[in-house]
Amino acid sequence: MKKNKNHYVVIMAGGIGSRFWPLSKKNYPKQFHDILGVGKSLLQLTYERFKRIIPEENIYVITNAGYSLLVSDQLPNLPEQNILAEPAAMNTAPCVAYASYKLFAKNEKANIIFAPSDHLITDDAAFEDSILTALKHTESNKELVTLGIKPNRPDTGYGYIQFKNDEGKTGVIPVKTFTEKPSHDLAMTFLESGDFYWNSGIFIWKAADILEEFTAYQPDMHAIFKKGLKKYNTLDEQTFINKQYPFCKSISIDYAIMEKTKIASILPATFGWSDLGTWKSLYELRKKDKNGNLLHGKNMRVYNTHNSLIICESGDDKLVVVEGMEGGMVIDTEDILFISSLSKEQEVRDITNDIKEKFKGKFS
């Protein structure tokens, strides 16, 4: 397949993945782990997915500066200059702005995909079709496109997109409303209405178009990054970013732009998707034994145990034995043993915050 030189992807790999604690920690977050048990990290899987349709020299990874070496180690074919190092964690709007201004300075016709590094895609062919459809649409339309996933439950952890009933020839539909992380009751209303999709967090747009939206809706952030137009893609870029980035407001691209813009569109997608946001989401997706247990580790014995998730990452010399567990979760790492009910996976973030405070960051 001939690849378009104006097509770019920016893989966002700076998150900590706190709901996957204790496996995912600040010094080695979940995108660098083989969470799926396939011999490759989530970041590596994401990179390989995109290199089939995007020129490899046009693949970029934006991450926390502390993870740059991890990215290089896991993606040895990625040029060093294609790793964008954030000096501070400031949510997704600054990272999108930085990469968009940089690529606009490089190529004013840049048509960019922004994608998380830690999502699961089960149908790569359908995913590629959706991405290429969206890229073709944004080439000739001034729109910000997000890939939408049909919801199957009133999940409060996702953004919800209401669409208008005027689908175009490409399958891209104008957005009516964009609501980030609603209450449970509102999420149930959205689900029952049938005209809402989950926001997958995968966005496609031309660099020129997203910069106009930053100018309109985030003028302070626009002013910060515009000052660097002559420094991007030069030896002065990192010095500029290190100095200016901390002045940005910490805000997601969803709140900063997508809830405000008048040119948002959605492409409904059916490629099999999960954001792998919690241990339970991993449990639901991975293969279980005949008793409904997800077991990962070399030396494990379970007895009278059902519908549980048990992961041992503490080394081959350790034996893990579980008896009489129902719907439980055991995560055993080199320095932490975590035991919980699998149904309480949403509480993991609160637990990690408490552990971080009590132990001054030692175990987080």
Contact yes or no for 60/11 (Cβ under 8 A): yes
Task: Give the model's pLDDT for residue 166.
Answer: 59
The alpha carbon dihedral of 236, 237, 242, 244 has a sign of: positive
Q: Is omega for the bond preceding 94 within 30 degrees of 0, making it cis?
A: no
How far apart CA 32 and CA 44 sit, in angstroms, is: 8
Strand partners, 163: 175
How far apart CA 52 and CA 48 sit, in angstroms, is: 7
Q: Coil, helix or strand for 344?
A: helix
Domain boundaries, the chain: 7-274, 283-358
- Give how far Cα 26 sits from Cα of 95, 185, 314, Å: 18, 33, 18
Contact yes or no for 137/267 (Cβ under 8 A): yes
Question: What are the structure tokens assigned to 274, written together?
Answer: 């999960």
How far apart CA 301 and CA 283 sit, in angstroms, is: 18
Question: What are the structure tokens assigned to 343, written together?
Answer: 């149904």
Task: Give the model's pLDDT for residue 362.
Answer: 85
**Intra-chain end-to-end CA distance of the chain, in Å:** 44
Task: Give the model's pLDDT for residue 167.
Answer: 59
Residues 6+ apart with CB under 8 A from 82: 57, 59, 60, 61
Task: Give the model's pLDDT for residue 169.
Answer: 57
**7-274 in CATH: which number?**
3.90.550.10
For the beta carbon of residue 266, count every other beta carbon within 10 angstroms: 29
Task: Give the model's pLDDT for residue 340.
Answer: 92
For the beta carbon of residue 172, count every other beta carbon within 10 angstroms: 22
- Return the CA Rg of the chain: 21
- pTM, to two decimals: 0.91
E runs forming strands in 207-333: 264-269, 273-274, 294-296, 300-303, 309-312, 320-323, 328-332
Question: What are the structure tokens assigned to 344, written together?
Answer: 């309480």
How far apart CA 171 and CA 223 sit, in angstroms, is: 35
Contact yes or no for 235/176 (Cβ under 8 A): no
Contact yes or no for 280/345 (Cβ under 8 A): yes
Task: Using 70 as the pLDDT threshold, list the residues of the chain that sit under it.
Answer: 166-170
Task: Give the model's pLDDT for residue 170.
Answer: 62
Torsion of CA 15, 18, 23, 24, to 10 degrees: 10
